[in-house]
């Protein structure tokens, strides 16, 4: 069984292909393919976590619940066992192509010590490995990346773009990327694909894996770009995606539902200066990998106006604290109403003797009340609600324990009575 390892790059249609593979995951085995589930779906992001060095702080690790080197090591052990089991089961089902797709393998595993353990994990499991890398001009990636970074709490601006170009950052060095992965997986394993000529990533893999006859259904495409004014609002609020090692729930405002009337743009002169910084490494890339032609790494300059809108992004900053308060207050009220609903549901389920669902409702109510407490206006109310819910949860759990014990005793008595009847029959 062969491995199709798709490592990105970011902003080259990775979300589209991952959603496509997840949506059709049940149909893939009949076509001799399998899309990993234990590594996470739709994005197999857990594989990149396996490659991260111990002690590194990363938002993906925090989202996975990993907050210490010991927890990271435990996660690696689980991934190794679960993936080996999944591969073995897929092989027994006659699968010929095992698929893994995760763009964080490019963006986060940017050192030799990140890629080496991935090789040690994957090579023993498969007969052959092909590493697919979609490559795109750096300035195009940068502008597409801005929307993602704005969602995650970065302040997008010209300064943000300059910070991306720090000498130690290997994110945009595509020649180094190819050299790093070929060092551990072999030159013959690498499949560089020019995104400029292959923008329909689903069609590319359909042809590569012989999925096109008959074609598998596609989901509606997802537009990840944000209007530049929405990015400006994100800048103004400065709400990080992760706060105190926890997801910031207050970021839940309607970013993705707001219309995209004018995308973020930068003036052509600045875009050309940005791209010029990679002329040397891109030339080396094309020289080493003939699949990539020099024109593949040249942006379509018609997309870049004489005057862009990036310098307007900071215009809302003075209103930022007020906008942030509105969003946080709205989310706090949502959590408070959910806590009240959960408290009522827990009481209702307790009266109806539906203890399992009552316990779940009480546990959720405590969680929601704690989120509401982040707004000062709900601190006292939420504290009282949490006290009441915790008492209710204790009572529900005790009732559940008694009922479980009574049920177990009844079953044991029934078993003993049955044994006694068998003995009486023998005598």
Task: Kindly report the CATH number assigned to the domain that includes residue 259.
Answer: 3.40.50
Q: Are residues 197 and 325 in the same domain?
A: no
Quick one: which of 408, 400, 402, 401 has its CA closest to 358?
A: 400
Domain stops at, among 308, 334, 367: 308
Would the pTM count as exceeding 0.95?
no
In a domain, 315, yes or no: no
In a domain, 331, yes or no: yes
pLDDT given for residue 34 in this prediction? 98
Q: How many whole angstroms separate alpha carbon 11 and alpha carbon 199?
A: 11
pLDDT given for residue 410 in this prediction? 85
Domain hosting residue 415, numbered range = 320-423
pLDDT given for residue 81 in this prediction? 98
Q: Are residues 303 and 191 in the same domain?
A: yes
Q: Are residues 383 and 290 in the same domain?
A: no
In a domain, 313, yes or no: no
pLDDT given for residue 427 in this prediction? 61
Q: Are residues 58 and 115 in the same domain?
A: yes
Q: How many whole angstroms separate alpha carbon 84 and alpha carbon 25?
A: 19
Total structural domains in the chain? 2
**CATH number, residue 380:** 1.20.58
Domain stops at, among 308, 334, 369: 308
Q: Are residues 30 and 94 in the same domain?
A: yes
Q: Are residues 197 and 254 in the same domain?
A: yes
Q: Are residues 333 and 299 in the same domain?
A: no
In a domain, 250, yes or no: yes
Domain stops at, among 266, 282, 308: 308
In a domain, 27, yes or no: yes
Q: Are residues 379 and 244 in the same domain?
A: no
In a domain, 280, yes or no: yes
Q: Are residues 225 and 351 in the same domain?
A: no
Per-residue pLDDT of the chain (427 residues; tens, 9 = 90+): 999 999 999 999 999 999 999 999 999 999 999 999 999 999 999 999 999 999 888 889 988 989 899 999 999 999 999 999 999 999 999 999 999 999 999 999 999 999 999 999 999 999 999 999 999 999 999 999 999 999 888 999 999 998 887 765 789 999 999 999 999 999 999 999 999 999 999 999 999 998 878 889 998 876 789 999 999 999 998 888 887 777 787 777 788 889 999 999 999 999 999 999 999 999 999 999 999 999 999 999 999 999 999 999 988 888 888 988 888 889 899 999 999 999 999 999 988 889 899 999 999 999 999 989 988 899 999 999 999 999 999 999 999 899 888 888 888 888 888 887 877 777 6
Contacts of 162 (CB under 8 A, 6+ apart): none
Q: How many whole angstroms separate alpha carbon 24 and alpha carbon 206?
A: 12
Q: Are residues 278 and 382 in the same domain?
A: no
pLDDT given for residue 251 in this prediction? 77
Q: Are residues 266 and 329 in the same domain?
A: no
Q: Are residues 154 and 198 in the same domain?
A: yes
């Amino acid at each position: 069984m062969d491995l199709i390892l798709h490592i990105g790059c970011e902003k080259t249609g990775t979300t589209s292909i991952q959603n496509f593979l997840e949506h059709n995951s049940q149909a893939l085995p009949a076509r001799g393919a399998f899309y990993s589930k234990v590594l996470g779906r739709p994005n197999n992001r857990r594989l990149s976590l396996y490659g991260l060095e111990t002690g590194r702080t990363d938002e993906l690790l925090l989202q996975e619940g990993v907050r210490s080197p010991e927890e990271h090591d435990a996660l690696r052990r689980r991934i190794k066992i679960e993936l080996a089991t999944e591969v073995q089961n897929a092989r027994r089902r006659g699968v010929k192509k095992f698929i893994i797709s995760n763009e964080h393998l490019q963006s986060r595993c940017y050192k030799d010590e990140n890629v080496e353990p991935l090789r040690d994990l994957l090579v023993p499991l498969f007969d052959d490995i092909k590493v697919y890398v979609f490559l795109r001009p750096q300035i195009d990636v940068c502008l597409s990346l801005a929307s993602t970074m704005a969602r995650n709490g970065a302040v997008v601006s010209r300064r943000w773009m300059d910070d991306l170009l720090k000498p130690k950052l290997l994110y945009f060095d595509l020649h180094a990327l190819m050299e790093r992965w070929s060092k551990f997986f072999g030159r013959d394993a690498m499949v560089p694909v020019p995104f400029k000529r292959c923008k329909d990533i689903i069609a590319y893999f359909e042809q590569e894996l012989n999925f096109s006859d008959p074609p598998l259904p596609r989901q509606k495409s997802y537009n990840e770009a944000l209007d530049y004014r929405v990015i400006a609002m994100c800048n103004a609020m400065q709400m990080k995606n992760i706060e105190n090692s926890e997801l910031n729930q207050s970021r839940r405002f309607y970013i993705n539902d707001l219309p995209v009337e004018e995308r973020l743009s930068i003036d052509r002169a600045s875009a050309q200066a940005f791209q010029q910084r990679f002329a040397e490494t891109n030339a080396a890339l094309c020289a080493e990998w003939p699949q990539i032609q020099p024109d593949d790494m040249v942006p379509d300059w018609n997309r870049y106006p004489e005057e862009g809108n990036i310098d307007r992004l900071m215009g809302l900053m003075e209103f930022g604290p007020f906008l942030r308060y509105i969003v946080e207050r709205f989310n706090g009220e949502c959590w408070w109403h959910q806590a009240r609903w959960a408290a009522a549901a827990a009481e209702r389920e307790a009266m109806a003797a539906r203890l399992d669902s009552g316990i779940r409702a009480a546990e959720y109510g405590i969680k929601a009340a704690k989120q509401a407490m982040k707004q000062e206006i709900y601190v006292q109310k939420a504290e009282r609600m949490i006290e009441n819910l915790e008492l209710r949860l204790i009572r529900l759990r005790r009732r559940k324990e008694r009922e479980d014990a009574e049920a177990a005793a009844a079953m044991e008595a029934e078993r003993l009575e049955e044994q006694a009847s068998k003995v009486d029959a023998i005598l």
